Amino acid sequence: MHYSQRYDPNVFQDFNINGRANTTFSKQFFSTGIGFQLEPLLTYDFFEPRTYGRFYTYPTNSSFDYWFSSDYRKRFALDGNIFYRDFNENNRNNVNFRVSPRFRANNKLFFVFNSQNDFKRDDIGYVNNVENQIFFGIRDVKTLTNTLTNTYTFTNRMAVSLRIRHYWSEAVYARYQLLAEDGSLENTNYQNNHDVNFNAFNIDLVYVWNFAPGSEMTIVWKNAILQDDKDIYLNYFNNFRNTLESPQINSISLKLLYYLDYLNVRNVFKK
């Protein structure tokens, strides 16, 4: 159970009831769990309007989630979870699911792939403030995050890791409404194009060498692409190709950390 109230102004904000049950089957080393959350009262969101003193009330809702994780001792293992949230409004819901296979090729080479999908149908959020009139938009939001991590261990003191991540989020607006003083939404003639397509693509290559006790050398190469526009893509690969054609930033850094033992240094100077 969770209860939230603001300090200033001293007003109610949120209340929910939640529960969770997890278990691990010892013979199979398989873990799984379920959870739920109920919000039986209206929630007062003082942050989404982005204006002090204003708030948005979103409806009662309930959510459910399930997760699992297989035996990590095996060369191939699989993690996953699914989340569903339903609002007391027509067609408004949120579905999120994740799948993450992992493969250990040998004692030196290890791969983990993580794919997370999030779909918000008839999501509601802030879009603009015009002459103290706050406008919200009703939108469908699709977010996909793919991450591939690869680690190769040369020795117990030397390793290299590669992390490739692509984050893609699209918001397509159906209509707009005006935020009233009581936190509800009213019809409006406001028209604008707030559709957005945002991509973030990152590559991190990290080499680590522990060349002495407490001493480490790290070489890092980073590649980053940030791209956003109003072009909505239905095909993942077309969107990904457009992202790779955008301007990118590359950086290389070297960090050397050397541990000096005070007693050893003092003995050297005494000699």
Write the pLDDT tens digit of every residue in 78-109: 999 999 999 999 899 999 999 999 999 999 99
pTM here is: 0.89
Kindly indicate the confidence band of residue 38, based on its pLDDT and cuts at 50, 70 and 90: very high
pLDDT at residue 234 greater than cutoff 80: no
Confidence at residue 262, expressed as pLDDT on a 0 to 100 scale: 65
Supply 184's token pair: 């509800």
- C-alpha 122/C-alpha 56 separation (Å) is 16
